[in-house]
Amino acid sequence: MNLRFDDNSITVAIVGCGGFIGSHLLDAVLERTRWRVFGVDLDFYRLQHRLNHERCEFLCADLADSAVVERIAKFPLVVNLAAICTPSRYMGEACEVIRSNYDHPAALAEACAKSGSWLVHFSTSEIYGKTAADSGELLEDSTPAVFGPVTASRWSYATAKLLAERYIAGLPDLRWTVVRPFNFVGPYMDFMPGVDGEGIPRVLANFSTALVRGEPLKLVNGGRAKRCFTSVHDAVDFLFALFDAGTSDSGVAPDAASANAGCAGVFSQAFNVGNPENEVSIAELAAKMRAIFAKVRGVDVSMLPEPQSVSGEEYYGVGYDDSMRRMPSVAKAERLLGFKARIPLDVALEESLAWFVKHYSV
């Protein structure tokens, strides 16, 4: 596969292009390469500035449509980001969540296997399941997964993503790579309820909304769960390291090749993408966001309402459950791609929050 960045005859298909990660990936492809982009999404409201770009074609369509799937699979590189991935929907809309995270990606994977495209599929760190507070590093190819019971429908998303990974890995003739994000943060993440979306967004947009509205941050079950928040810019750099490696014959990044002689490279691999140095509990995240918001607004943090603890079921509804810690092993990405996330948590949070405040005060 020859995917040189300066080759303007290459088109990458980005499915879910109008979403948080998709909008950053689109910008980076247009800025760092001469590739063309075929972007597919249900809507493109985040991409107003790109809609008339000469190297972009946008299709407002549903991945559930088999004709759309066939069109996407004609391109040599397909990045699939499309998914329902808002936790509050995992409880009330389990069947829709499973269709979105298993049925649609499975159909796309079949089409890519037939056409010979390289499928870069976005899974999730949730496939590691119900991890305990003292669980160690999560390794892509050896950590076992335990999930909550069927009555805890929060696991509808994680189990559908895991099955999609297994299906992709089992398809003969498919050239694939799976990406497992660990809590990416950055501008354009999610929505502000009642303004450009409904329901409960993921934690970054959730806390940002409360701060902008002068409401207390809600700490689900005391905010004891820990996560490794990762800048979306590091995530985009990971993808470029991946694309770069995928263009070499061995499938290994050129500067990592000698250390990995004989390895199958980036194909038929799942990668954790996260920043272990950015681990915080959700309560610590709330404290950091309050301090950053106070700085951005030029007020004293004591002027902001104190966070409040709420039970998971009270906040998200029946069927809520959680993982207490998600610490990625990032050794594989370092070994095969020479990639390591670099952006510190405070920098990523300040950028995200400053964007949110500016964007939603307009």
Ligand X SMILES: NC(=O)c1ccc[n+]([C@@H]2O[C@H](COP(=O)([O-])OP(=O)(O)OC[C@H]3O[C@@H](n4cnc5c(N)ncnc54)[C@H](O)[C@@H]3O)[C@@H](O)[C@H]2O)c1
Closer to ligand X by Cβ: residue 19 or 148: 19
Closest CA to 260 of 318, 335, 348: 335
140 binds ligand X (CB under 6 A): no
Q: Which of 4, 7, 51, 64 binds ligand X (CB under 6 A)?
A: 64
Least distance between ligand X and beta carbon 181 (Å): 4
Closer to ligand X by Cβ: residue 85 or 168: 85
107 binds ligand X (CB under 6 A): no
In a 3-state reduction of DSSP, which class is residue 53? coil
Least distance between ligand X and beta carbon 304 (Å): 25
Residue of 90, 157, 316, 320 with catalytic role: 157
81 binds ligand X (CB under 6 A): yes
Instruction: Report the DSSP pairing between strands 184-185 and 279-281.
Output: unpaired
104 binds ligand X (CB under 6 A): yes
| CB count in 10 Å sphere of residue 171 | 17
Closest CA to 208 of 280, 281, 293: 293
According to DSSP, residue 268 is labeled T
Least distance between ligand X and beta carbon 121 (Å): 8
**DSSP result, 269-310:** EEEEE--GGGEEEHHHHHHHHHHHHHHHHT--GGGSPPPEEE
124 binds ligand X (CB under 6 A): yes
Considering only residues 145 through 184, tell me which ones interact with ligand X, judged by CB under 6 A.
181, 183-184
Phi, psi angle pair for 177, to nearest 5°: -140, 135
Considering only residues 177 through 196, tell me which ones interact with ligand X, judged by CB under 6 A.
181, 183-184
| 360 catalytically annotated | no
Least distance between ligand X and beta carbon 302 (Å): 31
Closer to ligand X by Cβ: residue 122 or 147: 122
58 binds ligand X (CB under 6 A): no
Least distance between ligand X and beta carbon 118 (Å): 17
Q: Which of 19, 76, 274, 328 binds ligand X (CB under 6 A)?
A: 19
Q: Which of 38, 41, 158, 349 binds ligand X (CB under 6 A)?
A: 41
21 binds ligand X (CB under 6 A): yes
According to DSSP, residue 101 is labeled I
According to DSSP, residue 242 is labeled H
Cα atoms in the Cβ-side hemisphere of radius 13 Å centred on 192? 17
Phi, psi angle pair for 281, to nearest 5°: -80, 160
List, in sequence order, every beta strand (DSSP E) within 109-174. Answer: 118-122, 137-138
Closer to ligand X by Cβ: residue 58 or 118: 58
173 phi-psi bin (left φ>0, alpha ψ -120 to 50, beta other)? left
Residues in contact with 95: Cβ distance below 8 Å, sequence separation at least 6, in sequence order: none
Instruction: Report the DSSP pairing between strands 218-220 and 308-310.
Output: parallel
Least distance between ligand X and beta carbon 32 (Å): 19
Residues in contact with 150: Cβ distance below 8 Å, sequence separation at least 6, in sequence order: none
Q: Which of 38, 102, 122, 293 binds ligand X (CB under 6 A)?
A: 122
Considering only residues 222 through 251, tell me which ones interact with ligand X, judged by CB under 6 A.
none
Closest CA to 177 of 336, 306, 19: 336
Q: Which of 12, 13, 16, 56 binds ligand X (CB under 6 A)?
A: 16
Least distance between ligand X and beta carbon 23 (Å): 8
Q: Catalogue the active-site residues.
A: 157
Binding site for ligand X (CB under 6 A): 16, 18-22, 40-43, 62-64, 81-83, 85, 100, 104, 122, 124-125, 181, 183-184
